[in-house]
Amino acid sequence: MNANESQAVYAIASTVIMSFVYFIVLEKIKSDKGKKTPRHLISLFMWRKLGGLMILGIIPALAAWLVFSINPLKAGLTPGATGDLWPWLAGASILFITLNFFNSKNTELRDMYPELRLHDWTLKGLTIVAGGWILYLTGYEFLFRGLLLFSCYDAFGLWPAIVINLALYSALHLPKGMKEAIAAIPFGALICYLTIESQSILPAIFIHSLQAISCEIFCIYRNPGMSFHLIKR
């Protein structure tokens, strides 16, 4: 096994193991029986997102650097050719915002989102949600589209790398239901394409964050038990 193959095996194992660890942490957080005050709910939400950043991003990155001397820049932590993909980013942004606007009518989706179940939404609350998702998805995309995709690409080539990435990405959405697992395939394929074309995970972080945050906002808007209070009187 050569160096590239060893790094790819590490990336695959790291993706599976750290995702499993994160699911355990999530279940622990979900089991919290504390009072459901806004402050407590915000605290749990941020523990989820910061935990994801640490477990899915920082820890695998440090291990890859210490064991394999993998520079984070090699795993996509660089602007690359992101600026050249602005038509793709603009088109994808419009597409996902539009899809989320209509998909938010689905009550099953609103049962899952927003993850932070506040009744009254202020600008502060929306900022916390947006910041939490961006932090979490930075770690998430570093693991999936950075470490995993680039390592497998170097070791096995383009199509095997994409197939491995989509298989793991879709499988790890199964706890949220078959619909999300299936929807993860075309979404993941687009993100893989943007990552490889730009040689950067920044497009993936941007698109994934936009998709997640717009989904949350539209689900809040559609939820009869939630309301916006963005301007203080």
Task: With cut-offs at 50, 70 and 90, classify the pLDDT of residue 232.
Answer: low
pLDDT digits (tens, 9 = 90+) for 162-221: 999 999 999 988 887 888 889 899 999 999 999 999 999 999 999 999 999 999 999 999
d(CA 48, CA 30): 9
What the block records as the tokens of 134 is: 């961006």
Buried b (16+ CB within 10 A) or exposed e, 30-50: eeeeeeeeeeebbebbbbbbe
Host H or E run for residue 158: helix 158-171
Task: With cut-offs at 50, 70 and 90, classify the pLDDT of residue 229.
Answer: confident
Q: Which percentage of the chain shows pLDDT scores above 70?
A: 99
Collapse the DSSP code of 152 into the 3-class scheme (helix H, G, I; strand E, B; otherwise coil) and give the result: helix
Q: If you search the block for the tokens 């590239």, which residue do you land on? A: 4
Task: With cut-offs at 50, 70 and 90, classify the pLDDT of residue 71.
Answer: confident
Question: Does position 35 have pLDDT exceeding 80, yes or no?
Answer: no
Res 77: pLDDT: 84
User: Where exactly are the structural domains of the chain?
Assistant: 3-228
> Mean pLDDT across the stretch 134-150?
96
Question: Does position 33 have pLDDT exceeding 80, yes or no?
Answer: no
pLDDT digits (tens, 9 = 90+) for 36-61: 899 999 999 999 999 999 999 999 99
Closest to 122 in 3D by CA, of 209, 229, 10: 229
Q: What's this model's pTM, rounded to 2 decimal places?
A: 0.93
User: Beta-carbon neighbour count of residue 136 at 10 Å?
Assistant: 25
- Cβ atoms of residues 53 and 138 within 8 Å: yes
Cα Rg for the chain, rounded, in angstroms? 18
Res 30: pLDDT: 83
Mean pLDDT score across all residues of the chain: 92
> Mean pLDDT across the stretch 67-92?
88
Question: Does position 12 have pLDDT exceeding 60, yes or no?
Answer: yes
Res 70: pLDDT: 79
Q: If you search the block for the tokens 């419009």, which residue do you land on? A: 94
